[in-house]
Amino acid sequence: MVTLRILYVALGVLSWATAIVHAEEPAKSSQYKDPDTGRALSRASADEPKRTFSAKKADAYLKDGARLWFAQHQCVTCHTNGIYVPERPSLTPVLGAPDPEIRTHFVQDIESMHKLEGAARKALHLRDRPAQVVTITRGLVEWDARLSGKLTEDSKRALSLMFEVQAPDGSWGNVECWPPYESSNFQTATVAVTAAVAAPGWLGKIASVKQKQKFQKAVDYLRKTKPKQDYLRLLRLWTATRVPSLLDADEKRAVTNFVWERQNKDGGWSIRDFYTLSHWSPGSLPRTFLKDADFENPPSDGHMTGLALIVLMDSGLDPQDKRIQRGVEWLLANQRESGRWWTRSLNTDNYHFLTYSATAYALVALHKAGKLKKTAN
């Protein structure tokens, strides 16, 4: 799926609309492409040859993918530049500073949203617009936290808008059709809570009393709401590494245990092991997967392996744990020629944008495990 954000003027009122292009079209030859220059990144494929690990090659893929996405679609999306801006800054000590141009798109979006009034402002509460605000906000505050340690005015505006569009139950609106990102209000709430905690000094000195109350309502929502998928339980555990009171010791232990139980013999994990088929949202590929020879034992992928390792290490697991090291070795052995790590989409067999988050998570996991050096090549 491709989400396009369209700005238009109707009856003198500035409005935003979201156009959903369902990818029923044939598979494309490129994953990302600039329509003006023709520059493109090749389509992700399970058949792409593997290469000797290169952090620089992976970093170049992330930068190029984010730039080309915006050149083609002119929007911030959760699966590409929405991954780059919050995750890439943590790699600065080993790979240098992230591309500041990619951040400017987030700033421009927040500035435009803040200027909206009347019906256009109210529209920010509808469908997946709150999820867009949350994605942008987390990107901006993580950038601040990792690079300067100080909250910018852009991030303050984003946080203010994020809590303005919060739903009455403490969650944030999203569409339930394209897992794992555009999948549920629960998923969006984990990102929002993480953003609020990551924002330097915000909860302590900057947030208003009302905003702090809304933050607590979000935490309560995550604590009391039963996740529909084990993937969401993992995201809640990840959020609990920032908000320890979110989960009790029994739930933390239970999630950690099922993550270990689903580690494949080759050391990796598969995202398909964290989604219950009967609970998949419309737009995913359950019928297609049912026909796969590996349905009962899906192969390891970069997205889930990287994410599982990040959450386990953030939860306090020793990077030298033999099980962690098995996952690390899987990542080192399974990078593709383009620099990315393959992950098959849960939605369509066209663009496989999960390879993008797979690559970001793989690099972050390898960094946390001490495998990236300043001289990485």
pLDDT given for residue 280 in this prediction: 61
Residue 293, pLDDT above cutoff 80 = no
Q: Which of 93, 147, 60 is nearest to 373 (CA)?
A: 93
Task: Give the pLDDT confidence score for residue 283 in this predicted structure.
Answer: 56
**Is the model's pTM score more than 0.85?**
yes
pLDDT above 90 (res 342): yes
pLDDT at 29: 85
CB atoms within 10 A of CB 57: 19
Give per-residue pLDDT as tens, 5-56. Answer: 333 223 233 333 332 233 333 345 899 999 999 999 999 999 999 999 999 9
42 strand-pairing partners? 30
pLDDT, position 182:
80
**For 221-278, what is each residue's pLDDT tens digit?**
999 999 989 999 999 999 999 999 999 999 999 999 999 999 999 999 999 999 876 6
